[in-house]
């Protein structure tokens, strides 16, 4: 509906963020630079936090397109997890085997 009105060939507002439509504000550029630096420095874990609707997921999807070779990424989007569920999610993303019955 609005796409034809504004002469758009694609819908820029979908449920799944599309990094092609990311507006890189100064803060977004800084965050992306920090994340890329963190990946290139053989660091451990990187964490991106922010308010709802600030572009975190879209920024992460943009980051995934720039991952250096040999870097393993675990993208966990569900913030409402227990510590054990978070560890399980990271293991699942990185394909690390673990005993699901483990509680510590």
Q: Domain count of the chain?
A: 2
User: 8 and 42, same structural domain?
Assistant: yes
Is 53 in the same domain as 67? Answer: yes
Report whether 32 contacts 63 (CB < 8 A): yes
pLDDT digits (tens, 9 = 90+) for 11-64: 777 777 777 777 889 999 999 999 888 887 666 778 888 898 888 888 888 888
DSSP state of 67: P
Residues 39 and 9 occupy one common structural domain: yes
The answer on 44 and 64 residing in a single domain is yes
Q: Are residue 64 and residue 89 in the same domain, yes or no?
A: no
Instruction: Supply the pTM of this predicted model.
Output: 0.68
Contacts of 67 (CB under 8 A, 6+ apart): 39, 73
Domain limits at 10?
Answer: 2-71
């Amino acid at each position: 509906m609005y796409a034809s009105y504004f002469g758009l060939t694609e819908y820029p507002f979908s449920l799944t963020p599309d990094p092609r439509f990311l507006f890189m504000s100064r803060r977004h550029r800084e965050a992306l630079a920090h994340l890329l630096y963190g990946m290139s420095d053989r660091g451990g874990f990187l964490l991106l936090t922010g308010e709802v609707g600030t572009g975190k997921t879209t920024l992460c999807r943009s980051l995934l397109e720039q991952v250096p070779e040999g870097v393993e990424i675990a993208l966990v989007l569900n913030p409402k997890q227990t510590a054990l569920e978070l560890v399980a999610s990271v293991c699942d993303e990185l394909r690390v085997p673990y005993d699901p019955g483990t509680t510590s």
